[in-house]
Chains A and B, each alone.
Chain A
């Protein structure tokens, strides 16, 4: 099982949970598993063309999966995934 750290803005889709777990050999498989359990969250983690999500960045441990193998990045058992949204607030 892989732990996924969710930002505040996406916790509305998990009943407030900050961390969820899901299984999968790759990031894409983990996201598919998330999508079947939390469809609204799954929508935010996919793009219409089946590629990487557009509005959030995905980190496997501390590495951006855009610079690994994208959704095909293999997920180690002990790795965790962090979803990072852009945040504008400052005032």
Chain B
């Protein structure tokens, strides 16, 4: 029997549940997945905050990827409540057990004065460039927009900094600051893949910038061609969302830790030695800090540098990539970042391990949130200088 459009809607509505906008508004944030089944151009002009776009035409093919658990409560809406009724019926037929359609659609939602926003949208070029990200339900266009809006500071454009910078730039992180006072040397090129033979003698921050903007012109590079010191670290670090530590000495690592406790910026930590790597995330006051783990640095004979002891070039590639991954997880708020955990990597054994790190309640650096450590220049002993009242 042939049916009119109106008859089809009426049939669908008879088999599904509808809720009014006020009921949907109460369900925001309770675990209900809110699906906007309009077309992309309608969605971009305004949508319910937190709704995800799955156009009606892509619903059957995309829903299992976006919402794999068929018992997830789903509230679906369109412009006026007709398309969403058909969509809810389809989802029920596909085995989704808790689906409702919003009567009246977004038109009624808006006319009732409820909260909505214009979703951050990507340009046509960005939609193509980042499509492998936006396909991931954990990222999506909203997550990509967060990356484009994020600011990450890389300490060091060397072994760890090279892969971290390349992947963060490729991922579309909006602002990448790079701190390094060194120039490119041919002995760097065995591992520092930001640089190349034509750049020998060039400041590393400039070489890094050339490489990164060639990879992704979306990214703004801020160059800090300077040595981090007690005098400049707070100014350089402030305003960033995440710091990626690719330094090569203990005084700098303790200095970064102290400044991160002042500014309350998470630090993604990476360190390498010959065939061994370590990575962690020091999230101020949420987990342990660097000094909780290492109250004082080892004597030089226990901690020779890469220049003295050598390092296999791929090792910083792996550890620096892990740092980039952790930075992206922090920006997107997904997964379990390495807060309170130290990942160790042994390249010769191909063995990863995780050790639990605990916050030391007596830590001279992070023991009291209102009294972060004084920012002082460290010598090789890196002894804490006491604390100061919080000013930032």
Mark interface residues in B256-289 (1 if CB within 8 Å of A CB, else 0): 0000000000000011111110100000000000
- A89 engages B353 (CB within 8 Å): no
Main secondary structure of the interface of A (DSSP, over half): mixed
- B273 engages A91 (CB within 8 Å): no
- B273 engages A89 (CB within 8 Å): yes
- B344 engages A84 (CB within 8 Å): yes
Assess whether A38 is interfacial by the CB under 8 Å rule. Answer: no
Cβ-defined partner of A91 (8 Å) among B160, B353, B355, B358 = B160
Give the chain A neighbours of B272 by CB distance below 8 A.
Answer: 87, 89-90
Give the chain A neighbours of B160 by CB distance below 8 A.
Answer: 90-91
Give the chain A neighbours of B344 by CB distance below 8 A.
Answer: 82, 84
Complex: chain A residue closest to B159, CB-CB: A91
Mark interface residues in B294-306 (1 if CB within 8 Å of A CB, else 0): 1111110011111
Q: Which of B87-95, B224-232, B244-252 contacts A (4 or more CB under 8 A)?
A: B244-252
- A64 engages B298 (CB within 8 Å): no
Beyond A87-B303, A88-B271, A90-B156, whether A64 also contacts B248 by CB under 8 A is no
Give the chain B neighbours of A66 by CB distance below 8 A.
Answer: 358, 360
Cβ distance B238 to chain A, nearest Cβ, rounded Å: 22
The answer for the CA separation of A91 and B152 in the assembled complex, in Å, is 19
- A91 engages B246 (CB within 8 Å): yes
Assess whether B142 is interfacial by the CB under 8 Å rule. Answer: no
- A64 engages B356 (CB within 8 Å): yes
- B246 engages A90 (CB within 8 Å): yes
Cβ-defined partner of A55 (8 Å) among B188, B299, B304 = B299
Beyond A7-B276, A8-B273, A44-B302, whether A88 also contacts B247 by CB under 8 A is yes
11 residue pairs of the A-B complex, CB under 8 angstroms, read: A7-B273, A8-B276, A57-B293, A62-B355, A62-B356, A86-B294, A86-B298, A88-B303, A90-B246, A91-B246, A91-B306
